[in-house]
A and B are shown apart, each in its own frame.
Chain A
């Protein structure tokens, strides 16, 4: 067993994710509002956590 490279000796990438489908999220509930805020401000989860 060999890693991807010397920099990541313990990790190996094997494949890609199956193509996702586009669906609509229902715009309701506190979690959605948090998601909408992230999306509109272009933030990631961790950036949002820090705020």
Chain B
């Protein structure tokens, strides 16, 4: 690969054309930055933007994407699917459950392989997962090259946050074998956040963002501190048995039972029938995200009997109630892991295919205060498609770094650069003549150092003291009028859904009003302004250096002179973890 990058580029044509690739277990997508500078998700030759990560072989011919996925019914043994999470892993550590309906992973010389007939001959070949990945990436690369009209040579690939270095190395190797240079691996939640942030011109706002990536066979959530456009991951949580496939299963069971009632056979017992059920259930689930009812129909589902039925969204939501709850709980879990409260989250980005489900978005919206923005198609009309976020973010990053040398990228992403001190407490200010505990945040906690923030305080008059201090966030809980009941615990909510009679009692549960308040903790410095005229404005600026020394400036806007001061560094503790 190094030979490649050292080549002198041909005159005129750019050395690199880099795209963004989202490589998932279930679906992959590719995106680039169009001539007008807009992010564009690329459709493959079949017109799909969500390209199933499936490869299938019939008499030596390779099928990919949607065509390959259709082969799961008639040619499942020579169809490889759900292999992303196997790359660079030990055979013993993988969960082959999703591959039950397609080619099974087997162990050959310690490597994970699939035994498939991928050539003309009748014999089965053992193809390593590495090779399968390379073939899949080649198809993606070719689709992108055809679309943009020039050869794609490099990519930024979005991957889950828990991808190991071995997995990254294996992916890099697979990509190198098809002459695709992976410039950088990008965590999926960061890609999703970048996809949204790039839409607003001033994305440097300080905010805590929760990114929930609900995929096909796994779900990953992350809490990210976004400070001045820089991102630090505070916590991540994963559920490897939760995703769209669990929702498909609910529909499979529902329709299989209905079929069994009419025809006395269970279509789940026959492999081919089950494969048909699975494909159609996924299509019905997608339809239910768009409209309030959907038709399920399979020709010759079992015993040569056609099956047709309909389902409406509310029925589906009742059937999937428990599973939907698991998505919400995963979100709650990650907030707990980050040592935060729902009130601390400013924005939620729903990513991944299952995030199209309106009820999942609504449920998540319900556990957060109204001020929290939930970015999903069901909650915000301007939301981007959850399926496209990772590819979009990766494409944006690819366009930013494609001009750089590999060495430059490596140096910039080195831990010397990326591991930095972050503030443990928020820095803010208090102004005299205001309530003693009034505290306004200037630089929030978890901001990477060095950091600089300024703020204009207006409406000042006379002699004013401004104190810069560290503050602490507290959650204040007040009970509303009604008396608390002994059984008014959180568990009561779930019971209420099963038992209608208890509903009345539960409604009487006193409503807790929870609010976020700031308490000034440690004073850092004070300024005095004397004899300010009415309605004066004072601009304060706080600059915290990497060694945690702080410098302050304050000036009366429109007045002359200013106040400067600084405090020296404190000692650095080495106990951070991301």
User: Which residues of A pack against B, CB within 8 Å?
Assistant: 1, 3-4, 8, 10-33, 35-37, 39-40, 44-45
Could you list 22 A-B pairs, sorted by A, with CB under 8 Å?
A: A11-B525, A11-B526, A15-B469, A15-B522, A17-B470, A18-B425, A18-B522, A20-B572, A21-B424, A21-B577, A23-B446, A24-B418, A27-B184, A28-B184, A28-B191, A28-B393, A29-B190, A29-B229, A29-B397, A30-B400, A33-B401, A45-B452
Knowing A3-B528, A10-B563, A14-B526, the reply to whether A26 touches B233 (Cβ < 8 A) is: yes
Knowing A26-B233, A31-B228, A40-B411, the reply to whether A15 touches B527 (Cβ < 8 A) is: no
Q: How far is the CA of A19 from the CA of B573 in the complex (A)?
A: 6
**Once the chains bind, are B567 and A28 in contact (CB under 8 Å)?**
no
Q: What residues on A are CB-neighbors of B415 within 8 Å?
A: 24
Q: What residues on B are CB-neighbors of A44 within 8 Å?
A: 450
Knowing A4-B565, A8-B563, the reply to whether A27 touches B412 (Cβ < 8 A) is: yes
Q: What residues on A are CB-neighbors of B427 within 8 Å?
A: 17
Q: How far is the CA of A4 from the CA of B455 in the complex (A)?
A: 24
**Once the chains bind, are B417 and A36 in contact (CB under 8 Å)?**
yes
Partner of B548, one of A8, A19, A40: A19
Given pairs A3-B528, A4-B565, 20 additional interface contacts (CB within 8 A)? A8-B564, A11-B528, A12-B565, A13-B566, A14-B467, A19-B572, A22-B422, A24-B419, A24-B578, A25-B418, A26-B231, A26-B418, A28-B393, A29-B190, A29-B197, A29-B230, A30-B229, A32-B231, A39-B417, A45-B450
Residue of A nearest to B189 (CB): A26
Partner of B528, one of A1, A25, A40: A1
Q: How far is the CA of A24 from the CA of B530 in the complex (A)?
A: 43
Residue of B nearest to A21 (CB): B576
Q: How far is the CA of A4 from the CA of B184 in the complex (A)?
A: 50
Q: Is B328 an interface residue (CB 8 A)?
A: no
**Once the chains bind, are A19 and B412 in contact (CB under 8 Å)?**
no
Residue of B nearest to A38 (CB): B450
Q: What residues on A are CB-neighbors of B467 within 8 Å?
A: 14
Residue of A nearest to B187 (CB): A26
Convert B187-205 into 0s and 1s, putting 1 for each residue whose CB lies closer than 8 angstroms to a CB of A: 1001100100100000010
Q: How far is the CA of A29 from the CA of B552 in the complex (A)?
A: 28
**Once the chains bind, are A32 and B548 in contact (CB under 8 Å)?**
no
Nearest first, the 7 closest Cβ-Cβ pairs linking A and B are A31-B229, A22-B576, A11-B565, A21-B576, A20-B421, A36-B412, A19-B573
**Once the chains bind, are B567 and A17 in contact (CB under 8 Å)?**
yes
**Once the chains bind, are B564 and A17 in contact (CB under 8 Å)?**
no
Partner of A20, one of B191, B230, B400, B422: B422
> A42 to nearest B CB, angstroms?
11
Q: What residues on B are CB-neighbors of A40 within 8 Å?
A: 411-412, 417
**Once the chains bind, are B524 and A31 in contact (CB under 8 Å)?**
no
Q: How far is the CA of A1 from the CA of B463 in the complex (A)?
A: 11
Residue of B nearest to A9 (CB): B528
**Once the chains bind, are B548 and A20 in contact (CB under 8 Å)?**
yes
**Once the chains bind, are A11 and B552 in contact (CB under 8 Å)?**
yes
Q: How far is the CA of A28 from the CA of B401 in the complex (A)?
A: 9
**Once the chains bind, are B524 and A17 in contact (CB under 8 Å)?**
yes
Tell which of A8, A22, A23, A35 has the most Cβ of chain B within 10 Å.
Answer: A23
**Once the chains bind, are A15 and B231 in contact (CB under 8 Å)?**
no
**Once the chains bind, are A21 and B573 in contact (CB under 8 Å)?**
yes
Q: How far is the CA of A29 from the CA of B396 in the complex (A)?
A: 8
> B354 to nearest A CB, angstroms?
24
Partner of A21, one of B190, B421, B530: B421
Q: What residues on A are CB-neighbors of B230 within 8 Å?
A: 25-26, 29, 31-32, 35
Q: How far is the CA of A32 from the CA of B529 in the complex (A)?
A: 37
Residue of A nearest to B565 (CB): A11
**Once the chains bind, are B578 and A23 in contact (CB under 8 Å)?**
yes
Q: How far is the CA of A44 from the CA of B400 in the complex (A)?
A: 22
Partner of B231, one of A11, A22, A28, A39: A28
> B474 to nearest A CB, angstroms?
16
**Once the chains bind, are A19 and B570 in contact (CB under 8 Å)?**
yes
> A26 to nearest B CB, angstroms?
4
Partner of B420, one of A3, A11, A14, A23: A23
Q: What residues on B are CB-neighbors of A11 within 8 Å?
A: 525-528, 552, 563-565
Convert B509-538 into 0s and 1s, putting 1 for each residue whose CB lies closer than 8 angstroms to a CB of A: 000000000000011111111100000000
Partner of B527, one of A10, A16, A32: A10
Residue of A nearest to B548 (CB): A17
Knowing A23-B446, A27-B413, A39-B417, the reply to whether A17 touches B550 (Cβ < 8 A) is: yes
Q: Is B449 an interface residue (CB 8 A)?
A: yes
Q: Is B186 an interface residue (CB 8 A)?
A: yes
**Once the chains bind, are A22 and B570 in contact (CB under 8 Å)?**
no
**Once the chains bind, are B232 and A26 in contact (CB under 8 Å)?**
yes
Residue of A nearest to B573 (CB): A19
**Once the chains bind, are B232 and A25 in contact (CB under 8 Å)?**
yes
